[in-house]
Amino acid sequence: MATVTLHDAGARKKPIDAGTTGLGVAALCVLAFLYTPIATLIVFSFNSNPITRLPLEDFTFDWYTRALGNPDLMTAVWNSVFVGVSAVMICLAIGIPTALALDRHDFPGKTVFRRLVILPITLPGLITGVSMLTFFRSVGMDLSILTVIIGHGTALTAIVVTNVFARLQRFDRRIEEASADLGARPWQTFRHVTLPNIRSAIIGSSLISFTLSFDEIPVTFFLTGRDNTLPMYIWSVIRRGITPEINAVGTIIVIISITLILISVFMMHRENDRAGPVRRTR
């Protein structure tokens, strides 16, 4: 009888945490809701049946071979890569000096300017696309890959600004002062001291910007000319029905996008851990 009582008392000391269990179940449900469609896309990209429906048939890589051998599709892929890389260059050229100005200088309207800088990325892509289209039409500029690049660069610059600015807030300015005391010129201090310390933020924000540019549809839809990007090509194809080739391309995009995002997140977290606490802004 005593043994049973001790056993019951021990069981009462370790009750099941209903809150933790509930959060775990909720998290699994959210992950299933988000990633079940992606998993379905990947599964059907290896299905030999040309019609996307159950039941699944034989396992095959034929759709990947056909997709990579499609000249129109590959042209669209390279257009998307070119647009993404070019847009990242615009984002870096504008975003890094802007972040430095926000961190290092006080000027009238600085607080308002900080809010306005992030406005393009907070606006719906539809609004950004229509606005850019109206601007290009008003200046008589024909739609082309160039207009798409400018549109993506305009919409995504805020990502570089916010990430680099956040990293600069954790940067110890005394290191720059020490460099100046040792006789280094401003550009030498920036190259050898400042740039290495904000490098991970630059790389991380560049990867995120490239991923978003590569997958962008609303802005591209209004600004593209005769040359298709990959999202526009896929959109035009699926209007006639989903094909296994599109499933294969979608799977490749998912893998590349997840890889780039994971790399960027890892690098930013590692740099934040090294940087220490955030210093107070002026």
Q: Which range, of 28-32, 156-160, 266-270, averages the lowest pLDDT?
A: 266-270
Task: Give the global pTM.
Answer: 0.74
Q: What is the pLDDT of residue 13?
A: 52
Placement of tokens 């997709």 in the chain: 67
Give the mean pLDDT of 266-272.
65
List the structure tokens of 127.
């609004």
Confidence tier at 85 by pLDDT (50, 70, 90): very high
Work out the percent of the chain whose per-residue pLDDT is above 70: 85
Give the mean pLDDT of 173-187.
78
Query: Are 108 and 201 contacting, i.e. CB atoms less than 8 angstroms apart?
Result: no
The residue length of the chain stands at 282
Confidence tier at 272 by pLDDT (50, 70, 90): low
